[in-house]
Structure 1
């Protein structure tokens, strides 16, 4: 019996009773018709294999094609798919291939060659008995079919009766259940109508009660509003009075100037003399008013709305709904440290707290801390670093952030009350970071290579980045310094290369750009508490005073006041604005001839 037959050959074997040489198939020589059968090896042989097998095994019994087994079984072994089933074990009552015979049935005593064993199967008593048994079963099946049919009729009738009974009972149950629910709904509707009548009366009473309380509440809140407005208005009454007096003086001077011009044109010298004397006195009064208006401090305050929850507190009996807290204005500090020991490469300075000034000494790679104590004692010490510090910003009274462009990171430095360094932590700068400002728990940082402005968290995460305008052009070229407005809504950036100051919001929208021929290489800039911007011109050696919308107010101080360099702080600006009370020629300034000290006042033109 050959192995490794294809499915088509196996199926064809039922019709073509031809066997192939198992020896040839085993050695890959294809399907060669068998002409002999070795009883000892239990294998079919072709003529060639028979010849060599007879020489090698002379004692083996070979049967020719007329006497060899002709009933072939072509099923494959389930355990060994490459083997045909050739044997049957009567002990195990199981068929087997050659491998199964040699391995699994080695201890079986009654295992035979399947075709040989099956040669006389049709004449055996076992086959005859099976035929008789099958005939008997046919009669039993016929009787059983009749019996099953009768039983199925009974079952169908029972199922039909049960279905009808269930439907009838189900309809009765549903009707009873629906009636029960309707009774519950009717009872509820009765109670509901009674409750609605009762609630309508309670609602009417409640509306009347709340209306009376609302009227009282409205009276109280209007009174509280009037009281707080009167208190707020009276806070700076003195300043308003001074302002009114100042405006009256200005109007009087304008009117008097017209009269002077009129008397001069008519040649009324007596009248001109009288008006001149009056104008002189008025000018002196106006000058004093200007000084007073400049130096007077207004009372600042924070308006508050009281924490009030109507659901938990009585509204109509409450009187305090609004309040405001007066904010004390910090006194101005004049630092007069001798800083000759410092290098000429001071990049930035910062008033960290009252009595404490910090310089970044770029040449010496250090921060210089100048401290002024109440005992009039002054201290100066420095903190050394490996690379150059650039700009500084205040995070709190005892904490500052410093940029280090060469290291591409920011250091957050915490100080003790006596200005000793407690600890230093690093924040990723992501690139060459220069200018820095603190705003609402974030850092606003300017960068070079490439130039941009970014908003970082205190952990260094980039929240926003601005480098292009709406037209896709670069916003900045050399943005060495920046600052933010007091209300933390605007960012002001000085650009040393384009000689501009740019104002943009925290979404990167550009609002204003300042450029002036008298501002060269703008560097550090600050914003005061009123929103005015002060920017220092590095090469023009001056400080420009700008409004919050970057409109030029005036050049505050310049080289004639001793300014030279590129740093400016809130303290230095305050001091400069207090001391620089020298008047300049308005004609020269109008024609672009710079600031020339005024030596006369023209009454007719009301100019200096």
Structure 2
């Protein structure tokens, strides 16, 4: 057939069951899942999703709403469209009779007689009759199965991929340059009505396609697949090495068996038992990791094959829409792969023995030695993951600020607000929600992923290294781990101090501001385990809202003092290097630095952001894009983007340096 050169060796497996797709349903995020897998997934989480009114894609965790929300949750899987292009490319479909999708979803077998280009489903004679009688569907375009015949080129002529994935039956017509997303008229009326850069795609697709490179995206997807395969090989090698390490225990025991034979037998049994237990646990953990990798790889393969097909046979409009849909997936895949490689390690087994063998006869078997698991990071090539190209920076005083978006996650109440915000690996965002006593995790596109409930309102938040963050509470610091789409508590550090602000330098140290035991304002240097290394008391630091930040070299800290209308710079010995104050800065709160060590201070009372050079010289006062009552501020140094929270409501202002 005409499409015989398309790669069918992979890309056709469901990322959930890892088997060939059976009625692939397409979610609004463009990921594909078997109908039965999607049904099981929805049923398992039925109570939670029924309350939310939407599900989360099991691959990227993006919200996915059914086209008709008032239907029972048991019917939701059938409301997501069948991906006709993907289904037509399945190897089993080439020589098989096409079955009715509607009947198949009810476990009924019936030969298909036609295909609806709007509903994207094959239908039997009875379903077609019913379809033509319904007022809402009687105008839908129906083609015969013979015309459809499973050829991707014929499927693409139906234009299924030109329909909006969010709103059934509506065509993609517009593109928003502000948010880099395409959609139908309904999408733009509800979500992009105030955006300044909206484009009618009717005449602009060729120009937009020239700005992107479909071949480069396809190449990046292939690289992600190879990275995932490399990750699984690392895990498999880790198991082999671990097994080898465990076997070395026997050799060690044999060397000393002649002197302490009676105790050595007990030691050997104990160590082998412990080693095998850890081996089994590690084996299970790595198999689970590999299963996740395989699931993600199948999703990438599916995206790649679809992209390759559209790129080969699709119209320019189809290519553009596919590119637009794949770019967020590509960034999501890169973030997930980067996260996995950051977490990849190897478990090394060593035996700790008592220093004086002569005294061994006086020891019990349990005292003789024990298994000590230790992980070592894998050394990976610096080019294994794609990083943004370096940008030529303008002098800070010449930089302009552009507001990108305003995110409103929940209504404010009782005067509370988002008290802290920080970027974490993958350009994701974690918000300290004082209003609802929780932390909120957002994707790199600022979409809700999950939340973590706290017992008290959080005060501030910062990343401390890797996937761990520190959440500042009134009299404690709670360390959380952000792994994929899950947030879990690691440990809690409690003290007698009252805290105000927190920062970390990525080298195992944190700095906090608060009240000391002497009733004075202070800033404290401590380890991420809670060990205090230094405490510096100053009467002028006494206040209600003191935020703190490190410079990039970890040689200075910056402390804002609300009551003093000032920002103080200290070295790591507590010496005040300089103080910044200006008549246009009132009620300073959040403080942060960019990748060039320029300092940004949020003026709550003055409704502005003060930008300083590293030596404290004023560069500019920023008012454009700054919300009323700016509070916490956090900088993403990879994208030259910063987020500002608002003291008066629960909104996030997203800004970029130009």
TM-score of the aligned structures, taking structure 1 as reference length: 0.37
TM-score of the aligned structures, taking structure 2 as reference length: 0.35
- Which structure has more strand as a fraction of its residues? 2
